[in-house]
Amino acid sequence: MPISLSRELMIRMDPQDLQELVGNLLENALRWAATTVTLSAGEDGEECWIEVADDGRGMSEPQRHHVMARGARLDEQEPGSGLGLAIVSDLVDLYGGRLVLAPSSLGGLAARIYLPSGPLPKG
């Protein structure tokens, strides 16, 4: 699994929440990938991003919209609760970010999280 991360990237998120977020995205990508999953992250001005992409069969735009609903699943034959992306979406909302699902350059799905960069405010 190729990984591309900046050493100085600061993500505004509790470490346990970040682990939950990335873990859910990786679990989904590994489940649906044909052979390859990538994890990358970077910074664009006032926000940072994390992307998990795979080379699986991907999703159409209506399917990408559908899977954002809590408990929604595209394949009922596969194990799982359908809560992974809903948990990711809830965490991203909590931290003032956004989740974008799009076709991956690998041919499958890319899930990209955008979050405000810098340290969490104290309070």
Residues 6+ apart with CB under 8 A from 6: 41, 42, 43
| pLDDT value at residue 78 | 53
- Cα–Cα distances in Å, from 56 out to 5, 26, 37? 22, 13, 9
Instruction: Check residues 61 and 8 and name the one with the higher pLDDT.
Output: 61
pLDDT at 4 over 90: no
Average pLDDT over residues 81-88: 74
- Cα–Cα distances in Å, from 110 out to 16, 64, 103? 22, 10, 6
Instruction: Check residues 99 and 116 and name the one with the higher pLDDT.
Output: 99
Helix (H) or strand (E) holding 107: none
Check: pTM over 0.85? Answer yes or no: no
User: Can you read off the two tokens belonging to residue 74?
Assistant: 């595209």
Residues 6+ apart with CB under 8 A from 2: 36, 38, 39
pLDDT at 77 over 50: no
pLDDT at 80 over 70: no
pLDDT at 81 over 70: no
| pLDDT value at residue 10 | 77
Could you tell me which CATH class the domain 3-116 is placed in?
A: alpha beta
CB 99 within 8 A of CB 112: yes
Strands 37-44, 109-116: pairing kind: unpaired
Average pLDDT over residues 26-40: 94
pLDDT digits (tens, 9 = 90+) for 40-58: 998 888 889 999 999 999 9
> How buried is 52 (Cβ within 10 angstroms: 0-12 exposed, 13-18 middle, 19+ buried)?
buried
pLDDT at 106 over 90: yes
